[in-house]
Structures are given as structure tokens and as C-alpha cells.
């Protein structure tokens, strides 16, 4: 990984951007992509896209990722100064106890810990995953007034503190790799396209908001940009750790290449083109069967306006929605190459319309 690209990814990963409050991360992304994109724009809700003009204005290719991450929102402060929180998106509260959480308060960041009653004195019989109202965040305040004086109030959001770590040159762990890594991939794809021979198609790299709470940003921006074709990058479950039944969840290995999905939102001609590009670029891909929903922004993009031929490219990930999400940088590199190769393959007459 190039040094400047890694610095960008690290900064992105360390900037809290829970769903609905993505502006800090989007500013980092926009600042970086402005250094090579022809134009960077955003809409009212913070969807941000970088434009790379091709030889012609049509067709257009959208490379999409989501910018938001899961987190917590303060919904009650007790008279003792403890915070009770709701989940923003699918935060894994089974791992919450004993973790640090950082909130964006009015006076700056406030760090707290999710209380964990000592093993010696808690009732451990039949211990189960706690309910959200069993959990509290302790910021070290004694009273509600003290918490408020530190700039906290109901409606503010926080995330687990855990930042990124390189376990090996190929394996990275951290919070919010779902899907900052996607924002990194689409930025890197247009950076490389910009360095090479100008493609025919004009490219939008869209970093969309609010995926984790319902694909809302993708709905708005896909309608607005209405590209000829869209490639979405998000993470999928690697099923190669103990306890995951491949008979139930399929077989996806970390480091064995991006996955292509079939069915649902995935347009057969777009998937076919991706498989051709993968073959000519010698990229190994894995496959996933989608019976109905992909559970990603692809579901919202392909039905925008009168339909956008779309396909999902997924990055295998272990331990999704935890603080130790793990990815393999070789898979990341292969998705960038697949996206770049796809854009370069698009000819002026390509519309991905099924012949009837
Ligand atoms: Zn995601």
C-alpha cells in the first residue's frame, strides 16, 4: 500500500462517522479526492461524490461505497451521570461491556466506558447477551449536570474507540472497516484511472451516507446521478473461522479474492462483464448466491429512476460489525483492479440492456 494512500485510509478509519452524522469522515474523503478528481460535490445530506471526466459524457459509471459506520446514540442521562444509549445501525452490543466509546459532544470528544460489573460479584448463572438497557456508558461524571457541563446531551452519537492495526502486511483489523475500506477503494480506483489512459466513460465515485440505517444516501444520490451502470463495493462475511456452517452460509475465504454476487440486484450483463475483466486481469473471484436482497446499497441503487444496471463486489471480512473487523489487503487491491478494469472496458455504446 502506498504511503499517502495508507495515511488517507488510517485517517478515514480514525474519524468517527456514524450514520446520519458522517460529515467529519466525508470531509476527509473529499479533501483527499479533490487532489486528483476533476470535481468533488455533495448534496444536502452529505452524500459526496468525486467526478472523473472520461472521453465523453456518456456512458457514466458509478463506483459506490457507503461512508457511514455503526455506533451509539445517547437517549437518556441518569441523575448519576450515566449515559444510556441506543444502537445506530447493527452495532454488536454482545461485545460492548468493557469497551471504550467516544462521543462527539458540543465541547469536543468525550470518552466513556461501557460498564462491566466485576466477574467476582455479578450473577453469572445463565449469562446471556445483554439488552441495550442493561448497558450504560460511564464517562466518570457523578451527576447529570456534570455530564451536561461536559457538552453531552440526548441525541449525540458515539462509536467504539478502537482504531486500525496492521496485524501483518496483508491483514488489517479495526472498527469501521465496514465500509471505510469501500470509500478508500473507490477513491483509489479513480486516482489510478486518472493516472492512466483516459477512459471513454465518465466516472462518479460516490461515498453515500446512511447505509447502515437503510440505504438512504444511496437512494438519494443514485436518483440524482442516474448513471448508466453502477458497481457497489461493500463487505461480506468470510466464513472461514470456526463455528460458521458453510452449508448454511456458503464458503467465502479471507484473502481468496473479492466475491461477485448473482441474483437480486445484480444485473447479469454487468456481472458477466466483471467476470470477463477478472479473467483478463487474472483476478481470482469467489461467488455468492443472492436469493432476494444483497443487504447493501445495491438494493437501492438498481431500482432508482427507471433502473440502473448494477453489481455488487464484496470484500471478504471476518468479525463484521465488531471492533476487530478483519480484512486482507490483497482482496482490497483486487477490487480496485477489478473496478479500474471494468471502467476501462466500457465502450461508448455500452448500455447493459438485456436483449429481448
Ligand atoms: Zn457495509
For residue 137, CA distances in Å to 116, 124, 168 come to 10, 21, 33
Ligand 1 centre to CA of 311 (Å) is 15
Q: What is the reported pLDDT for 160?
A: 97
Question: Which tens digits make up the pLDDT trace of 249-281?
Answer: 999 999 999 999 999 999 999 999 999 999 999
Q: What is the reported pLDDT for 287?
A: 98
Check pLDDT > 80 for residue 10: yes
Fold category of 3-69+176-345 in CATH: Aminopeptidase (3.40.630)
What would the grid cell of residue 76 be?
Answer: 437518556
313 within 8 A of 232, measured Cβ to Cβ: yes
Q: What is the reported pLDDT for 291?
A: 87
DSSP 8-state symbol, 247? H
Helix H or strand E segment including 48: strand 48-52
Residue 211 appears among annotated catalytic residues: yes
Q: CA–CA separation, 303 vs 67, rounded Å?
A: 21
Using a pLDDT cut of 70, give the percent of the chain over it: 100
Residues paired with 240 in a beta bridge: none
Q: Enter the CATH code of domain 71-160.
A: 2.40.30.40
Q: CA–CA separation, 332 vs 340, rounded Å?
A: 12
Ligand 1 centre to CA of 178 (Å) is 5
Ligand 1 centre to CA of 262 (Å) is 18
Domain boundaries, the chain: 3-69+176-345, 71-160
Task: Provide the pLDDT confidence category of residue 3 given band limits of 50, 70 and 90.
Answer: confident
What would the grid cell of residue 285 be?
Answer: 473471484
Q: By C-alpha distance, which of 1, 354, 319, 332 is closest to 173?
A: 319
Q: CA–CA separation, 177 vs 323, rounded Å?
A: 9
Q: Considering the entire predicted model, what is its pTM?
A: 0.97
Ligand 1 centre to CA of 192 (Å) is 24
Give the mean model confidence (pLDDT) for residues 17-21: 98
Ligand 1 centre to CA of 208 (Å) is 11
Ligand 1 centre to CA of 66 (Å) is 7
Q: What is the reported pLDDT for 232?
A: 98
Ligand 1 centre to CA of 179 (Å) is 5
Task: Provide the pLDDT confidence category of residue 161 given band limits of 50, 70 and 90.
Answer: very high
Task: Provide the pLDDT confidence category of residue 4 given band limits of 50, 70 and 90.
Answer: confident
Check pLDDT > 80 for residue 1: no
Using a pLDDT cut of 90, give the percent of the chain over it: 97
DSSP string, 286-343: EEEE-SS--SSTHHHHTTSTT---EEEEEEEEBSTTSTTEEEEHHHHHHHHHHHHHHH
DSSP 8-state symbol, 266? B
DSSP 8-state symbol, 110? E
Question: Which tens digits make up the pLDDT trace of 49-77?
Answer: 999 999 988 999 999 999 999 999 999 99
Catalytic site residue from 22, 64, 188, 211: 211
The alpha carbon of residue 210 and the mean position of all alpha carbons in its chain are separated, in whole angstroms, by 10
Q: What is the reported pLDDT for 2?
A: 73
**Rg (the chain; Cα; Å):** 21
Q: What is the reported pLDDT for 327?
A: 98
List of residues 6+ apart from 144 with CB closer than 8 A:
77, 78, 79, 80, 81
Question: Which tens digits make up the pLDDT trace of 309-324?
Answer: 999 999 999 999 999 9
Question: Which tens digits make up the pLDDT trace of 81-126?
Answer: 999 999 999 999 999 999 999 999 999 999 999 999 999 999 899 9
Q: What is the reported pLDDT for 47?
A: 98
Check pLDDT > 80 for residue 184: yes
Ligand 1 centre to CA of 256 (Å) is 19
Ligand 1 centre to CA of 207 (Å) is 12
Matching residue, cell 458477466? 272
Ligand 1 centre to CA of 321 (Å) is 9
Amino acid at each position: 500500500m502506498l504511503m499517502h494512500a495508507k495515511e488517507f485510509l488510517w485517517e478515514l478509519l480514525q474519524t468517527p462517522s456514524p450514520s446520519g452524522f458522517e460529515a467529519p469522515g466525508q470531509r476527509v474523503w473529499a479533501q483527499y479526492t479533490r487532489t486528483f478528481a476533476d470535481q468533488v460535490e455533495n448534496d444536502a445530506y452529505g452524500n459526496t461524490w468525486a467526478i472523473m471526466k472520461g472521453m465523453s459524457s456518456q456512458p457514466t459509471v458509478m463506483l459506490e461505497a457507503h461512508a457511514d459506520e455503526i455506533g451509539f446514540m445517547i437517549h437518556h442521562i441518569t441523575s448519576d451521570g450515566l449515559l444510556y444509549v441506543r444502537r445506530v445501525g447493527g452495532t454488536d452490543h454482545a461485545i460492548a461491556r468493557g469497551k471504550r466509546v467516544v462521543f462527539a459532544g458540543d465541547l469536543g470528544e468525550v470518552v466513556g466506558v461501557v460498564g462491566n460489573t466485576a466477574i467476582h460479584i455479578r450473577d453469572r448463572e445463565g449469562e446471556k447477551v445483554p439488552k441495550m438497557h442493561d448497558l450504560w456508558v460511564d464517562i466518570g461524571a457523578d451527576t447529570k449536570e456534570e455530564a451536561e457541563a461536559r457538552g453531552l446531551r440526548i441525541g449525540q452519537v458515539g462509536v467504539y474507540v478502537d482504531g486500525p492495526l496492521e496485524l501483518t502486511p496483508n491483514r488489517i483489523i479495526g472498527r469501521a472497516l465496514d465500509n471505510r475500506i469501500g470509500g478508500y477503494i473507490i477513491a483509489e480506483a479513480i486516482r489510478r484511472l486518472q493516472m492512466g489512459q483516459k477512459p471513454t466513460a465518465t466516472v462518479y465515485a460516490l461515498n453515500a451516507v446512511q447505509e447502515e440505517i437503510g440505504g438512504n444516501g444511496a437512494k438519494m444520490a443514485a436518483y440524482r446521478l442516474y448513471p448508466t451502470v453502477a458497481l457497489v463495493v461493500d463487505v461480506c462475511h468470510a466464513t472461514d473461522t470456526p463455528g460458521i456452517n458453510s452449508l448454511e452460509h456458503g464458503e467465502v475465504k479471507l484473502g481468496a479474492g473479492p466475491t461477485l454476487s448473482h441474483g437480486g440486484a445484480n444485473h447479469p450483463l454487468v456481472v458477466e462483464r466483471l467476470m470477463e475483466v477478472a479473467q483478463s486481469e487474472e483476478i481470482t473471484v469467489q461467488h455468492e448466491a443472492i436469493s432476494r436482497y444483497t443487504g447493501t446499497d445495491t438494493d437501492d441503487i438498481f431500482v432508482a429512476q427507471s433502473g440502473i444496471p448494477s453489481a455488487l463486489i464484496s470484500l471478504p471480512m471476518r468479525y463484521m460489525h465488531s471492533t476487530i473487523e478483519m480484512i486482507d489487503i490483497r482482496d482490497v487491491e483486487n477490487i480496485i483492479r477489478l473496478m479500474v478494469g471494468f471502467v476501462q472496458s466500457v465502450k461508448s455504446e455500452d448500455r447493459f440492456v438485456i436483449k429481448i
